Amino acid sequence: MKTFVSGDLRLQFIDLGPTDGQTVVLLHGFPQDSSSWSEVGGLLADAGFRVLIPDLRGYSPEAQPRELAEYTVDALVGDVVALLDSHGLASAHIVGHDWGGSLVWTMRKTHPSRMATATVVSTPHPAALSWAWTHTGQLLRSWYMGAIALPLVPELVVRRRLAWLLERSGLPAERATHYQELMNRPGVATGALNWYRQMLRDTVLPKRRTGSARDSAPPPRTLYIWGTEDAYFNRAVAEKTVETVSDLTFVPIESGSHWLPETEPEVLAMRITGHIDSAV
């Protein structure tokens, strides 16, 4: 895999498609890696796009800082910006799933000029999620967020029982096994969990943000894709996202699970391509 530098860290990434095509960046979620986007990335590359798929901080072997403070949302967004900078890109089409989707929501606010378009898969807007915790049954679906903040126990669970948990939520067994193996690689379980823990504080819980790089560009055209059978985010929070974000294109995938990049790659590639084409 190729690598790029972000501060003192070196992150790895997959590079697909023609170098002169429009660039699409695909951001993975927890507990995934760049391979979660392999099928979608291949389809986009075949359609003429250049596709960059990084293994994010905590997952890349040379980007696993020990301090929790190194996993702030600003640092994670900074890694995406560093990827663009390393390729001389003023902007790109940014797509994120799960916690990668949270990065897209944040970039939409702090770095809109770096985004040609934005696409979020599964993840509701942070303000919608905060609302849903107190107004719907979403809190029951989000129980794992608090559990992940515990010391040591989450590492034991993801190393031993992750595949079982993922299969129960609709991920194919082969992919669930891959992520079980991923969490048993040196440093990955703690790195991934630290990313999740700190991101929970910075992105999901609403608070006044300080120190973020901001620009004055308007938000990019945004597509939100959500599976109607998502085990983690209910319909109420998805629909609240539509109310929260102006000029949002919302595409529910009937019978779709939380793991749309791996279970519905053709549908996602088609929707992403259509969204990009509509913005040109």
Q: What is the pTM of this model?
A: 0.92
* pLDDT tens digits along 176-230: 999 999 999 999 999 999 977 786 666 455 455 544 446 789 999 999 999 999 9
Q: Is the dihedral of CA 128, 130, 133, 136 positive or negative?
A: negative
How far is Cα 187 from Cα 182, in angstroms, rounded to an integer?
10
Contacts of 88 (CB under 8 A, 6+ apart): none
Please report, as a single letter, which amino acid is at residue 84.
Answer: L
Domain range for 84 is: 2-279
- Distance between CA atoms of residues 51 and 22, nearest Å: 8
* CATH number, domain containing residue 192: 3.40.50.1820
Domain total of the chain: 1
Kindly report, residue by residue over 119-171, the tens digit of the pLDDT. 999 999 988 987 766 756 545 445 455 556 556 557 888 898 899 999 999 99
